Amino acid sequence: MTGVRRPWWRELGRAASWHRRKLAALAAVAAVVSGVAAATPEGPATVRVVRLEHALAGGTVLQGADLDVADVPVDAVPDGALTDPGPALGRLLAAPAARGQVLTELALVLPRPPGSTSLVLAPLRLTDPDLAALVHPGDLVDVLAADPQVAQARVVAAAVRVVTVPRAEAENARSDGALVLVAVDRPTAAALARAAVTATLSVIWRS
C-alpha cells in the first residue's frame, strides 16, 4: 500500500550498506595512490651547496647577492664544495666563473689586507707535490731556494701569505712541480722569479 513505511531496521540496513560501498571505494582509491607512490623511484640523493647567482669575472669580491644556496645531486658536487655562504663573503674569485657554478675553497682567494695595494700575486713552483698538498690559502710561509750546485738553501722571501693553491687534476699535473700563489711586493716577486730559474723552491711555515 502507498504510504506504508518500511521498518526502521530496514532503513538502517540500507544506510549502512550505502556507507560500506562508499568506504570501499575510498579504500580502493587509497590503495591505488599508495601503489603508485611505492612504485615511483626515489630521486637521487642531494646536498645543499653554494652556487653563483650570475657569471662573475676573476678577482670579483663576493657579496651576498652573488651567491645562491641550492640542493644539487651528490654525484654532481665537486670536492671541497662550500655548504655555507658565510666563508665566501668578502673573498675574491680566483678565476672567471659561470652562473650556477658550485663554489669550492680552491675557487676563492683571500682578500688583500688593508693598505696592501702595492702587493702582487707571485707564482711559486714547488717541486715536491707532497709539500704543496700541505699548503693552504692563508698560510704564512718563508720561501727557500735550494741551489743544487752549492748544496745550500737561502730564504728568498720571508713571511709571505699564501693566497691560493690552484691544484691541477692528477692526470694533468706538471712534472716540474705544483703551483702556489703568494702575495708579495714587486721586488720580492722579481727575486722569486730569478730564484726559480736556477734553484728549487720550497717553503717552511711560520708559527
DSSP string covering the chain: -TTPPPPHHHHHHHHHHHHHHHHHHHHHHHHHHHHHHHHSPPPPPEEEEEEESS-B-TTPBP-GGGEEEEEEEGGGPPTTB-S-SGGGTT-EESS-B-TTPBPBGGGEEPPPPTT-TT-EEEEEEES-HHHHTT--TT-EEEEEEEETTTTEEEEEEEEEEEEE--PPPGGG--TT-EEEEEEE-HHHHHHHHHHHHHSEEEEEE--
Domain range 46-109, its CATH number among 1.10.443.10, 3.90.1210.10, 3.50.50.60, 3.30.470.20 = 3.90.1210.10
How does pLDDT run across 3-46, given as a tens digit for each residue?
555 555 455 555 555 556 666 666 666 666 566 555 555 667 88
- Residue 107 above 90 pLDDT? no
- Residue 155 above 70 pLDDT? yes
- Entry pTM: 0.50
More confident residue, 206 or 120: 206
Q: What percent of the chain has pLDDT over 90?
A: 24
Q: Which of 29-33, 94-98, 195-199 has the highest mean pLDDT?
A: 195-199
The pLDDT of residue 171: 39
The rounded mean pLDDT for the chain is: 77
Parts of the chain belonging to CATH 3.90.1210.10: 46-109
